[in-house]
Amino acid sequence: MNAFTSRLGIEHPIIQGPFGGGLSSVTLAAAVSNAGGLGSFGAHHLSPTQMREVIRDLQSATAKPFNINLWVSRYDPGAEETTAAHREDGLRQFGAIYERLGIEAPLMEPPDDFSFEEQVEVILETRPAVFSFVFGIPDVGILRECTRCGILTVGTATTQEEAAALDEAGVDMIVATGSEAGGHRPSFLRSAEQSLTGTLALVPQVRNVTRKPVIAAGGIAEVRGIRAAFQLGADAVQIGTAFIACEESNCPPPHREVLFTPSAARTQLSRRFTGRLARFMSTALLDELENSPVPALPFPLQASFNHTVKTEGVRLGDSSLLPLYAGQAALLIRHRKASELMGELITSLR
């Protein structure tokens, strides 16, 4: 037991990363929680009604604590509504790709009709053990209400500056996510490009500005990464890519399979799939988009243009058309089942 496990009432200081983009699953989160870790579900894209259904399913699948993750900032500036200029720029980036695949350009849907605050209302109503968030800090009133309801709050920092802000705001725990991590870079005080501190440097920097439990994330996929994180001052680790590769995740099979190939060695940071900086495995499609003279649209407009291509990639079983989220530790992945991965990690902690 340490400051992290005793606070949550769990056995092992291991968190399954809360994947966005529909990659999370109730099955995976419950499997990790039932094994004594903390399972997570990325719910930022879900409506309040959908969130209630997921949380109800999780409560049925496990009696152990689990984590629901949301994005504080759900739109980039300029993306609150779609304009003709947005559509033109999107088609200039993706038009040739649509034509090559024989698919139609997407209709420009209006923004979601729900807010972060409305999603938080579901958190307060259903009371999961842990509420984590990225891309900012919720209003102090939300944090206080979570405390009143017995919900532990976990903020995410990409720099020491962000960690200090989270500590001052009163969050219960802080994730220090290094630039090696797969998925989005959830920076909120400066641009993501200006906040690319690696895990090795970031974890002790965060440890220096808070007495609260620190969770190391980024570049951790097996026992050596866990041991290093604890030496740096972390109380727990958050593992993403290694859990995405497990069959219990909602990762499309072509994405999952390519994580076990030498292609996992090459990753890059890009805004081209969603409009926000994220780490993906490199593909010819990503290279093509990177070479476009048209800047990526703000999130989530860029994602709406890519969604049609992603859907076709899933239909065809073609990994080259998918946004292949992966961290720099992907080459260390060995397990295809969450039980096997958790078993190895737990054994290493004894």
Would you give per-residue pLDDT tens digits along the chain (350 residues)?
688 999 999 999 999 999 988 999 999 999 999 999 999 999 999 999 999 999 999 999 999 999 999 999 999 998 888 889 999 999 999 999 999 999 999 987 766 789 999 999 999 999 999 999 999 999 999 999 999 999 999 999 999 999 999 999 999 999 999 999 999 999 999 999 999 999 999 999 999 999 999 999 999 999 999 999 999 999 999 999 999 999 999 999 999 999 999 999 999 999 999 999 999 999 999 999 999 999 999 999 999 999 999 999 999 999 999 999 999 999 999 999 999 999 999 997 87
Could you please report the per-residue DSSP string of 291-305? Answer: T-SSPPPPTTHHHHH
Give which of 206, 200, 117 is closest to 165, Cα–Cα: 206
CA distance 246 to 29: 11
What is the residue whose two structure tokens read 């959830």? Answer: 186
What is the residue whose two structure tokens read 């999603």? Answer: 119
Q: What b-and-e string marks burial along 29-46, b requiring 16 or more CB atoms within 10 Å of the CB?
A: bbbbbbbebbbbbbbbbb
**Structure pTM?**
0.96
Taken in order of first residue, the domains within the chain and their CATH numbers are 3-74+112-251 (3.20.20.70)
CA distance 236 to 222: 13
Amino acid at position 310, single letter: K
Return left, alpha or beta for 24; rule: phi > 0 is left, psi -120 to 50 is alpha, else beta: beta
Which helix (H) or strand (E) segment holds residue 214: the answer is strand 214-217
Q: Answer positive or negative: Cα dihedral of 193, 115, 171, 153.
A: negative
What is the residue whose two structure tokens read 């807010």? Answer: 115
Give which of 268, 255, 215 is closest to 239, Cα–Cα: 215
